[in-house]
Amino acid sequence: MTAAPSLFDDTPLQVPPLAMQLRPYQQEAVDSIFAWFDKETGNPLVVLPTGAGKSLVLAAFIHAVLSNYPRERILVLTHVKELIAQNHAQLLRCWPGAPAGICSAGLRRREHDAPVLFAGIQSTYRHAAKIGWVDLVLVDEAHLIPKEGFGMYRALLKDLLSMNSQLKVIGLTATPFRTGEGSLDAGADRLFHGIAYSASLVELIRDGYLSPVTTKATASEVSTAGVHRQGGEFVAKELEEAALSGDLVQRACSEIIARGADRKAWLVFCCGVRHAKAVAAQIEAAGITCACIFGDTDQGERDEAINAFKAGRLRCIVNVNVLTTGFDAPHVDLIALLRPTCSPGLYVQMVGRGLRRAPGKTDALILDFGSNAGRHGPIDAIAITQPKDRKEDAKDPTERVLAKACPKCQTLVAVAMRQCPDCGHMWPEPTPDHAAKPDEQATLVQGTHPTGGIERWEVQKTFYRLHRKELSKPPTLCVEYRCGFHQTAREWVCLEHTGYARHKAVAWWKSHGGQMPAPESVDVALARIECGELLDVAVVTVDVRGEYPQVKGTRMAAREAGEQDFAAKPETGNPSDYQDIPF
């Protein structure tokens, strides 16, 4: 087979325009992949919350590649037939007549030669020779690729690399981490080397693209006391016994039924088959239409139950390890987590089933019977444990408490919050423990440091990109400071605005080492940044007391002698010292 050219070196080909309009953040995600390969080496990740439209981003990127580089061969991999069919159908909706095929035993199609091949990993990992030369591999649900060893993904990629040493792999996921292994882009043996783009869950909810979620504490709880862990997760048999103990099933189901009285579509996650059957029986006994599915459920029966649920003929569907990925039912407005998990990824995937918007849906209610929010934190601020930081596998990972329940309305919020977003309840200011060591005192409650919520974060990398919230308004320069996976701070520089906003933007540009005159457009700013005009940022000062971190100052990695260290006011613990910088 003749070697195909590498990405970005072919003659453009005229193809029909994309048939669907991208949201601004979706376009940013597509652009970020091209920007990554312009500047970086290695394989990038694109992180989009569940419901944000990964399949549309994937389709738009494929369209952009083949519009400009028509000889590229693209392989799109995932692990479930529903996602294969969904991604393939989305590309055809965006680009009718696209040269796309499917290779999936579950879908009974074996089209190995398609220029754009949507494939199941189970159907292809031994058949690289049949697929042949590939330039790009796009992996949906990239967190399922094992970090170490040679699983199915690793085996296929190894064979594809033997044919094309310049093969590029792009991962798409809502959860860029794996249980017991930490971030996907960390470690010497990682497959991915950084995050090209990460959409903020808080911002997508705020801007109306995703549904708000409300997590409530429950009166009943599946206790994990005495439940051992193996491979970073609770031992399944022991966990199911804990979930079935005493009258817990009856009490939990009574609470689900009571709280779900005004909810249209319930999704329940259970610990095992016996547990799921017991829960479904209790719900059905209350007169609620309900189905129960798990791994061994006949495929026809499973499809019938899911279709009935989506059509509204079933109000509740109970499952075990089935509906965490590849399940799209936007009308879900109640999720009951009767399964505790040590996996932050599984926790996010379960809650993510409620993030999609639907007509008449105002929010999704999350009933957390497994203390998952307390274990991992709110889904927009997941605490990721790297392997070197893990406790012994036999220990219950509940020493950290990352969420608290409002005493008035039982809403679960991050421990750092002082006001409940639902009912307005105010928690008192924390009292410092003077007997604690300084480092212990700083971590007693996240965000309630002796400085009053003002923190310094060391910056690992700074990303600059064009951000457009609304197409009718001028874009801004989004500056994103990555300080660890769950520590990201952003600020927006309004270079294309007028008046005071432009005045502030010019002052920001100068304070960060930019030359005068400041650029008039974001595109020009990005070009000048690419040429190294701005100084590197070493530390950001952030106020963590609000819904998301606010950047209050930056310290540069290198400055000329005699210049100030920070591009803002000196830090103090007094909130009045942190008004807008008077540019």
Tens digit of pLDDT for each residue in 484-525?
A: 655 788 898 999 988 767 878 888 898 888 888 889 999 999
How large is the angle between the packed helices 273-285 and 248-259, nearest 10 degrees? 50
Give yes or no for residue 14 having a pLDDT over 50. Answer: yes
The confidence band for 243, taking pLDDT boundaries of 50, 70 and 90, is: very high
User: Taking Cα atoms as reference points, which of 530, 562, 500, 575 lies closest to residue 35?
Assistant: 530
Separation between Cα atoms, residue 484 and residue 486, nearest integer Å: 6
* Residues paired with residue 542 on neighbouring β-strands, in sequence order: 455, 551
Tens digit of pLDDT for each residue in 527-554?
A: 999 888 999 898 888 877 666 778 888 8
Claim: this prediction has a pTM higher than 0.85: no
Give yes or no for residue 373 having a pLDDT over 80. Answer: yes
Separation between Cα atoms, residue 468 and residue 283, nearest integer Å: 46
- Segment 140-146 mean pLDDT: 82
Separation between Cα atoms, residue 555 and residue 533, nearest integer Å: 16
Q: What angle do CA 83, 86, 90 make, to 5 degrees?
A: 140
Give the pLDDT of residue 17: 84
Tens digit of pLDDT for each residue in 258-274?
A: 999 999 999 999 999 99
Give yes or no for residue 187 having a pLDDT over 80. Answer: no
Domains with residue ranges and CATH for the chain: 24-199 (3.40.50.300), 213-428 (3.40.50.300), 454-578 (no CATH)
Separation between Cα atoms, residue 96 and residue 19, nearest integer Å: 8
Give the pLDDT of residue 449: 35
Give yes or no for residue 390 having a pLDDT over 50. Answer: no
Give the pLDDT of residue 409: 75
Tens digit of pLDDT for each residue in 434-470?
A: 443 333 322 212 333 333 467 788 888 898 999 887 7
